[in-house]
Structure 1
Amino acid sequence: MMLIKSTKLNQVNNLVVLHGLCGQPSNFIEFANQKQIISQVNSHLLDWHTQKFNINTQSLYLRDYIKNITNGQICLLGHSLGAKIIMNTLTQHKQQLEDKVKGAIIVDMQPFTQQREGKETKKLGIMKLYLGRVQNLNLADKNEEQVLNEIESVVPSKRIARILLQNYNIEAQQWRVDIDDILHNYDDFLYHDIQGSWQGRVIILAGKRSVIVSRSQFDPYKSIFSQIDLQRDIKFIKKANHWVYNDKPTLFANEVSNFLKEIFDEKHS
C-alpha cells in the first residue's frame, strides 16, 4: 500500500494504491511515472508483508491510514486482492470515510466469488498451490538466477514464477511475505463476501482476457456500488489479462488519469 500525490491535478488530491497478493509497489511506481499521471510517490507504507493477513484486519489498517490523511481527499486504487480490501473497507467503514474518499478504482476483481468451483475461483486459487510448493524449496546460498530456476521447477507459469521471485530476498535468504499466514487465510481472500454498499464514484478496469471479472454478470457491482453506471463505469481493456496495468500500461494510465480528473475537478466537487 502506498500514497501517490499528484503533481498534475492538485496537491491536495491523493491516490492511494493497494497491490494484489504477492504484488510489489514497484509495479505501480512505474505506472505512476506515466506522463498521463505525472505523479510522485511520497511514501511506501508498511503493508501486509509484516501484518496479519486477512481482509478485515487489512481493512482496519486502511481505514486508520485514510483517517490520518489531513491534506485533502483521496482516490483509492486496488488491484486484485487490494481491490477487494478497498471494497470491504468502503462498505464496512463508510461513515468514517465518506468525507475523505472521493472515488475508487477497482482493477480486475469482483466483490465476491459467486461459485466456489467457478473458473475465476480456480484461477485465483492456483496461487495457493504455488505458494505451498515454493515454501518447501531449499533456496539457501543461491543467486537470483538459481532461485528463479528452483521456483520455475515447481511453478509452470513463468510470469507467476517471476512474481514469486520478487517476494524472495536473495541477500537475506528469506521470503518477504509470511507464506504460512497467507496460506492460513487464503480461503478468506477468495470467499470473503463484501457486505453493504457505498455511494461514491467508482470505475472498474478489467482485462478483456482475464477470467476474474465476468463480462456479462454485473449484479455484484450494482449491489456494492449504488451509484455505478454500468455503461460508463465498467471498462474492459483489450488484449489485457489479470495484470492490466502491466499488459497495457498506457491505456490503463489514460483511464486512471481521466477518472482522477473527473472526480477531482472542482466543478464536480
Structure 2
Amino acid sequence: MTLFYREYGEPSSGSPLVFLHGLFGSSANWGGIVKSFAETHYCIVPDLRNHGRSFHDDGVGYGAQSGDVIDLLEELDIDKATLVGHSMGGKVAMMVALHLPEMVDRLVVVDMAPRRYQHSFASILTALKKIDLDNLENRNEADNYLANFIDESGVRAYLLQNLVRTSDAWQWRINLEALSNGIAQITGFPVNENRRFNGPTLFIHGNNSDYVDVEGKAAISHFFPNAEVRGIDNAGHWVYADQPQAFINSLSRFLKPH
C-alpha cells in the first residue's frame, strides 16, 4: 500500500525534499515550513503509516516504516532525495540512510538521536483511548478531558488534530491500538551497530529539549561520522514550530551547494 502524500513545487526543480512527521503527527504539521522551500525544491510530505490519511497496519517498526518511504520514492521515480525527519520521522529517515545510503542525498534529523528512549507515552495513549467517542459532543469536551492528564495546551492541540468528525461519528485518524501495542518499537532504534551513513548530515535540536543529550550525541557520531549538530535557542522538541524562521535558516544553509 502507498502512503498518502502532499506535493509542493515542481518535480523538475532542485533536489527533492522529503519531510517526515513525528509520532501522533501528520503531513499537515510541515505546511508552513515546506512552503518556504517549494520555490526551489520539489517537496514530498507523506503521512506515515497509522497516521493522517495513510493506511492502518499492525506493523509499526522502523523496518516497515522506512520501507514505506522507499516504496513511495520508487513509485515517484525518485532515485535520490534529501530526507528531513522530525522525532519518529527522524528515526525513519535515519533507517533509510543507514540501509540504502545511495538513495539519500542529504539527511536532516530534527530533535532525535539514533538510540532508545525511555519515554513510554503510556499516559498519553491511555488518555486518548479513554475519550468516549460515542458520547463526545465536541472537540472542546475532548480537550477538557485531556487536561486532566496533559497540562500543556499545545500538546493537547497537537494530539487533537487527529480527532475528526465523520458524517455521524468522531474517530481517530491515528491507529491508537497499533501505536499502543508497538510503542516499544517506536521508542527504540533497531540498527546494526556496524552501519554508517557518511553523506552530509545535519541534526537540529531545540536547546530546551533533552532528546539530543550527551548519549544522543555519542550515538550520532557513531552512526553519522560527518554529522553537524546544531542547537536552536528558545526551542523545545517541536523546533520548527517554536522557532520556524531559525529552523528555516538552518535548513536553508545546509541545503546550499558546498
Shared fold, TM over 0.5:
yes
Q: Secondary structure at the match of 1:76?
A: strand
Q: Which has the higher helix share?
A: 1
Tell me the C-alpha RMSD between the 2 structures. 2.6
The alpha-carbon deviation at position 44 of structure 1 amounts to 5.2
Q: How many residues align?
A: 244
Alignment of 1:104-253 (within 5 A): 104-113=107-116, 121-122=117-118, 124-125=119-120, 127-140=121-134, 141-171=136-166, 172-195=169-192, 196-214=195-213, 218-228=217-227, 233-253=228-248
Instruction: Tell me if structure 2 keeps the 8 A contact 1:15–1:77.
Output: yes
* CA pair 198-247 structure 1, distance change in 2 beyond 3 A: same
Q: Secondary structure at the match of 2:106?
A: strand
Percent identity, aligned pairs only, is 23
Matched, 1:29 2:26: no
Measured against aligned partners, the alpha-carbon deviations of 1:181-221 in whole angstroms (never above 9, x if no partner) come to: 00111111112243311121110000000011115862211
The alpha-carbon deviation at position 15 of structure 1 amounts to 0.7
Matched, 1:68 2:69: no
Gap regions ≥5 residues in structure 1: 114-120, 263-267
- The residue that corresponds to 1:80 in the other structure is 87
> How far apart in 1 are the matches of 2:73 and 2:6?
10
Paired residue type of 2:147: E
Instruction: Tell me if structure 1 keeps the 8 A contact 2:18–2:83.
Output: yes
> How far apart in 2 are the matches of 1:204 and 1:217?
11
Gap regions ≥5 residues in structure 2: 51-55
Q: What is the TM-score when the length of structure 1 is the normalising length? A: 0.81
Matched, 1:261 2:230: no
